[in-house]
Amino acid sequence: MKVIVCENYEEESKKAFEVMKDVIQKNPHAILGLATGSSPEGLYKEMVKDYQENGTSYADITSYNLDEYVGIDRNHPESYYSFMHKHLFDHVNIKPENTHLPEGSTQADADAYEAELKKVTIDLQLLGIGRNGHIGFNEPGTSFDAPTHIVDLTQSTLEANSRFFDNDVNKVPHQAMSMGLGSIMRSKKILLVANGANKADAVKAMVEGPVTEKVPASILQKHPDVVVVLDKAAASKLSK
């Protein structure tokens, strides 16, 4: 696991973009696993800027998103489908038919998405990390072998995400469909970005703690190619 500590969020986003662009330049047909949330917004901004200024093409890129809420319309402003279009898809030349996001509300829907994932190998999987150590919506206690599944979100995750729903925890969907930890670990390379002091405990547990299902992100210690890009605040509790 390679850990890169940056001065601030802007620098962190630029460094994460360097990792992303390297993969795309080496393989114009790369398959990307994409994530949502506030952490990767700066990275997507850098990707759009680079596309506009340098013409880096996404015409042959394929993407598979990590997760999606259950129970809200795709066109809801806080759906992850809307997020991806707002921050990336509408601003680069990726083909709509090459973008894939989880959709549905049943385990059968999750099984169908997992079946699609098993037909491909993700070249670079982008991740954030939750305050409780979750990656995707794989909450503490999730099996390390889990495939794509329907998740009941924990109270801490509901509270963390309420800022996107008028700070009303009751408006946050209580379930999501998420790639499982087993799905994520099949990726060739993983890029995790985290910023802010509120992520410091989770980052320390991920990087330096025991590998335990109590901290889902700790499984990344067992992956052969992980790059973790942090700002100083998120890295503040690391001993190394």
Nearest by Cα to 118 from 22, 31, 222, 1: 31
Q: Which residues are catalytic?
A: 67, 132, 134, 139
Angstrom distances, CA of residue 93 to CA of 18, 24, 71, 130, 144: 19, 13, 29, 30, 35
Q: 20-37 burial by CB neighbour count: b if 16+ within 10 A, else e?
A: beebbeeeeebbbbbbbb
The residue length of the chain stands at: 240
Helix (H, G, I), strand (E, B) or coil at 143: coil
The four Cα atoms 31, 150, 216, 190 give a dihedral, to 10 degrees, of 0
Which tokens in the block code for residue 177?
């469909």
Counting beta carbons within 10 angstroms of the beta carbon of residue 209, is it exposed (0 to 12), middle (13 to 18) or buried (19 or more)?
middle
Is residue 84 within 8 Å of residue 99, measured between CB atoms?
Answer: yes
Pairwise CA distance, residues 168 & 6, whole Å: 33
The gap from C-alpha 28 to its chain's centroid, in whole angstroms, comes to 21
Residue 41's H or E segment, with its range, is: helix 41-54
